[in-house]
């Protein structure tokens, strides 16, 4: 399932940031953009953000919530999205551990 994120090609990093941003609750587009900039240190352009968001929605990893206000439609992780995020983060955790282990003095 974690492969779902890496399948997004050049959108895989933005997609991962979006999934992380939604991991602690629903957010609309601009809130995601601010949250990602604060927590991941990367500012996603509007076109990049919505390009990745549309791909995630198409794959069923995130879903829009019914909202009275179409201009501030919130999104949330689906169960598949949470599973994909967890898998991808574990992969990265393993990768980070491996890299750090190699950097450590023998």
Partner 1 sequence: MKGETARRLVRLYPGVWRERYEEEFVAMLEQSPASVKDILDVTLGALDARLRPQVVPEGRMAVVERMRGSVLLGLWAWTFLVVAGVGFQKMTEYEDFVRAARDNVAVGVAFYAVVVGAVLALAAVVVGGAPIAFAALRKALTEGRRDVPLLFCVPPLSLVAFVGYTLVLVGVVYPALGSPAVHDPVNVALFLSLVVAFLLAALASAWAVSAAVRRSEIGGRPLRFALYPAAVAAFAMVVVLVGTAVWGLALRAQAPTLFAGDDGILSTPTYATWLTVVAVMSVSTAVALAATVRGLHARRPSQHPERSTS
3-state secondary structure of 93: helix
Kind and range of the H or E element at 75?
strand 75-77
The answer to whether 32 touches 52, Cβ cutoff 8 Å, is no
Distance from CA of residue 9 to its chain's centroid?
13
* Residue 58 binds partner 1 (CB under 8 A): yes
Complex with partner 1: residue 57 or 91, whichever CB lies closer:
57
| One of 12, 37, 73, 83 touching partner 1 (CB under 8 A) | 73
Is 55 a binding residue for partner 1 by CB under 8 A? The answer is: yes
List interacting residues with partner 1 (CB under 8 A).
28-30, 33, 45-51, 54-55, 58, 66, 70-73
């Amino acid at each position: 399932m974690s492969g779902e994120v890496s399948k997004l090609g050049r959108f895989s990093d933005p997609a991962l940031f979006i999934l992380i941003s939604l991991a602690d609750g629903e957010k609309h587009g601009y809130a995601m953009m601010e949250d990602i900039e604060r927590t991941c240190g990367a500012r996603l352009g509007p076109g990049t953000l919505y390009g990745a968001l549309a791909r995630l929605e198409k794959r069923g990893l995130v879903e829009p919530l019914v909202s009275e206000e179409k201009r501030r439609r919130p999104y949330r992780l689906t169960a598949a999205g949470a599973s994909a995020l967890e898998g991808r983060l574990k992969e990265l955790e393993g990768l980070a551990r491996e890299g750090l282990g190699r950097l450590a003095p023998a």
